[in-house]
Chain A
Amino acid sequence: MSAVTVDQLNDGGRQSAEDQARAAELKRLERRDGWRRRIPILPALIYTILVTQIPFLFTLFYSLTDWRIDTPDPRQFIWFENYGSLSGDTFFLDSAWVSVQMTVMAVLGSLIVGTGLAILLDRKFFGQGFVRTLLITPFLVMPVVAGLMWKLQMFNSTFGIIGWVMNQLGLEPVEFATRFPLASVVVVLIWQWSPFMMLIVLAGLQGQDQSVLEAARVDGATSWGTFRQITLPQLRPFLELGTLLGAIYLIQVYDHIEVIVGGQPGARNLPFYIAGRSIGGGNRFGLSSAYSIVVVLASIIIANIGLRVLSNLLEDDS
C-alpha cells in the first residue's frame, strides 16, 4: 500500500488512471462472481415468485374491485372502497377480536403446557424416547381429524368423555362446543400445539450449560429460584420464537373451527369470516380479498418481529 502512495506522489496522473482501471476490473470481477453464485438459485427464485407473489398480486387487484359473482359487471374497479368499508363492518371487527383472543390464548396456553412438558422431559429416565414420541403425536394429527376427535369423543354431551365424567360426578352434561365455542376451539388448539412448543423449549433446556445450573445450586439457589433466575432468561429467545411461529400459524386457523363449532359467532375468526364472505356463499370476492390483504399485512408485521427475534437468537450463539 505504502509503495503505491509513494508512486502516486511521484507520478500522480498516470498512476491514478491505472488505479481506476484496476478498480473497475475488480468491480467487474466481483459482479461476475455475484452472478455465478446467483444463477443456480434463479429457477427456485422464479418458481417461488410465481407461486407466491402472483396469487398475491391477483388478490391485491381483486381487492380494488367490486367483484362478486351475482353482479352483471363483475370487475368494476372501485379503488379503496372495500378497505373503506372495513371499519364499518361490525362482523369483521367481531371476528378480528375473536382472532386476537383465540391466538393469544392458544399461543400462551400451548407455551405454558409445552414448557411444563419440556421440563418433565428434560431428564434421563427409562423409555424417555418413547414418551417423547407419544407426547409429539397430537402435533402430527391432521387438524380436521383433531377437530373431529374432540368434537365427537370429548365434547359430545351424549358420547363424549367430558360428558361421561360429568355424569359420573353427578353433574348435568353440557354440549361444550355449543356452550363455550371459543374455549372449546382454544382447548383443542392448545392440545395440538403444546408438543410444538415443547420441542422448541426442550431445545432451549438441553442447550443449557449444566455447570451453570450446578453453580447456582452451590450458590444456594432453590430449584424454583434456579428456574426463574437462570433458566428462564436463557429460554427467552426460544419462548419468543415459539410465540412467533405459533402466532403466525394460529392466526390462520380454519379447520378446527369449521369442524368443532361451525359458524357459531362466538368462535368465528377472520379466516373463517373471510371464507364465508367469498367461497362460503357470500361470493363477495373483492371485499374478501381486501380483508385477506389486511390479514396478510398483520401477519407480515408479526413475521418481521419474529425474524428479528430469530436473528438475535443466532447472534447469541456465535
Chain B
Amino acid sequence: MAEVQYKDASRIYPGTDEPAVNKLNIDIPDGELLVLVGPSGSGKSTALRMLAGLETVNQGAVYIGGTDVTLKPPQDRDIAMVFQNYALYPSMTVGENMGFALKQAKVPKDERAKRVQEAARILDLEEYLDRKPKNLSGGQRQRVAMGRAIVRQPQVFLMDEPLSNLDAKLRVQTRTELSDLQARLGVTTVYVTHDQVEAMTMGDRVAVLNFGVLQQVDAPKTLYSKPANKFVAGFIGSPAMNLFDAESIDGRPAIGGVAAPISDSVAGQLGRVDGAAIGVRPEHLKLASSGIQGEVTVIEELGSESFVHVAIQHMGERTTIVVRDEGETETTRGQNVHVDFDGPIHVFDADGERVD
C-alpha cells in the first residue's frame, strides 16, 4: 500500500500538439479512493495509463510509495489494473486468469491456489473457477477482472471505467460493493469514470478533468457546494446547476431582472458584473409569490421530489431555469409562477473562477 503522486505530469501523444494530460498535480494519500472524472476525451484514461506505465510521461513525474516510477515499466510498478473491457485472458480459465500475475511472480503453486480461492470467495466466484471467460455473464466477467486485481495485493489499484459495460441496475449494486471492498482492503485506488454520479458516490475525493487540465480535486461534498469554476459547477450535480451569464442590476449580478442576494464581500471581490456568471442549484430555488417571473413548461415528477422547468426572460432572451419542489408539486404546465432564491448562490468571474 502506498501513496501516489502526479507532479506536473504531462502526456503529449506523438503527432498531436495539445497535451492529452497537461501538468497534472495530484497527491493521493495511502488507502484513498480517488476518482478521476470528466467528459469523454478529457484525458482520464491517459492519466491513469501514465500511472500504470502504459503511456509515456513526456514531462513531470509520477510517484508510487514515494518512489519515482516515471521511467519504470508497468511490471515493476506493483500495480493492478482493471480495464473497461476487462481484458480477461481468453484462453485461460477464471482461476488461471486470477492466478496469472502470481504465476509470473513465481509464487509457489499452493500459495497461488490459496490466494485465488480466497479472492474467489470474496467475489462469489468459487463455482466458476474452471470456466473460460467467454462462458460468463458481463457481471461475472467484471468480478473476474476485479479478482485478478485483488489476488495480487498490489500497492495501487487502477480502474478504467470498470462498471460502464454493466446494465444500470447491476452498475449501481456493483458500485457500492466495489467501494466497500476497497475500503476493507485499504488499497490506494485511482478510479476513472465519466459518470459524475458514480464519481460522487464512490470517491473519497474526486478530481475533475477537462481538456487534460485538472479543474478541482476535493471531497464530493465540497465539489458540490463550492465548485472552483464554471466547468465544475456545470459538470457536477444532477440535474445540473442553473448557470447564467449575469446581468447587472444596480451593479449587482442578477437573473431575469432580480438581483441575487449575495454578500457585499462577494460583490466587492467580483467588481464588474460584465462577463461574470451566476449559478444556483435547483434545490436552492423555490416557487414563491414574488421573484423571477416565468411560465412552467415541464414538470419532472420523481415521487419524493419534483423538478419544475420554468421559462423566464433573461437578458432579452427566453431561457429555462429548473426549480426543485418538495414531494408532489401543485404547479401545472402553463402556469405563471415566480421563482425566488432560497440558498447559496455561486458567482464566477469573467475567467470562470469562483468568487467567494
Contact = CB atoms under 8 A, between A and B. Distances in A.
A215 B89 contact: yes
A211 B83 contact: yes
B252 interface: no
Interface in B63-104: 73-75, 79-81, 83-85, 87-92, 100-101, 104
Nearest to A208: B90
Nearest to A217: B74
B104 A218 contact: no
A1 to B, nearest CB: 30
Contact of A215 (B53, B81, B105): B81
A301 to B, nearest CB: 28
B230 interface: no
Interface in A179-230: 209, 211-212, 214-222, 225, 229-230
B148 interface: yes
Contact of A212 (B73, B84, B88): B88
Contacts of A218: 52-54, 74-75, 79-81
A75 B232 CA distance: 94
B75 A211 contact: no
Contacts of B84: 211
A219 B54 contact: no
Please report whether the interface of chain A is mostly helix, strand, loop or mixed according to DSSP. helix
B73 A230 contact: no
B72 to A, nearest CB: 12
B73 A216 contact: no
A211 B86 CA distance: 8
B101 A220 contact: yes
Contacts of A222: 75, 104
Contact of A219 (B53, B73, B91, B148): B148
Nearest to B54: A214
Contacts of B104: 219-222, 225
B83 A214 contact: yes
B54 A216 contact: no
A233 B89 CA distance: 10
Output the residue of A212, A214, A215, A222 with the most chain B CB within 10 A: A215
A209 B87 contact: yes
A220 B81 CA distance: 11
Contacts of B91: 230, 233-234
A177 to B, nearest CB: 43
A100 to B, nearest CB: 31
A211 B89 contact: no
Interface in A231-259: 233-234
B106 to A, nearest CB: 10
Contacts of A212: 87-90
A211 B162 CA distance: 13
Nearest to B134: A316
B255 to A, nearest CB: 47
A199 B100 CA distance: 30
A116 to B, nearest CB: 21
B83 A215 contact: yes
A208 to B, nearest CB: 9
Contacts of A217: 53-54, 73-75
A214 B91 CA distance: 16
A50 B349 CA distance: 85
A211 B101 contact: no
Interface of A: 209, 211-212, 214-222, 225, 229-230, 233-234
Instruction: Name the 4 nearest CB pairs between A and B, nearest first.
Output: A233-B91, A219-B101, A211-B87, A220-B104
22 contacts: A209-B85, A209-B90, A211-B84, A212-B88, A212-B89, A214-B52, A215-B83, A215-B88, A216-B89, A217-B53, A218-B80, A218-B81, A219-B80, A219-B100, A219-B148, A220-B105, A221-B104, A222-B75, A225-B104, A230-B89, A234-B90, A234-B91
Given A211-B87, A214-B74, A215-B88, 20 more contacts: A209-B90, A211-B83, A214-B52, A214-B81, A214-B83, A215-B89, A216-B89, A216-B100, A217-B54, A217-B74, A218-B52, A218-B53, A218-B81, A219-B75, A219-B100, A219-B152, A220-B101, A220-B105, A225-B104, A230-B91
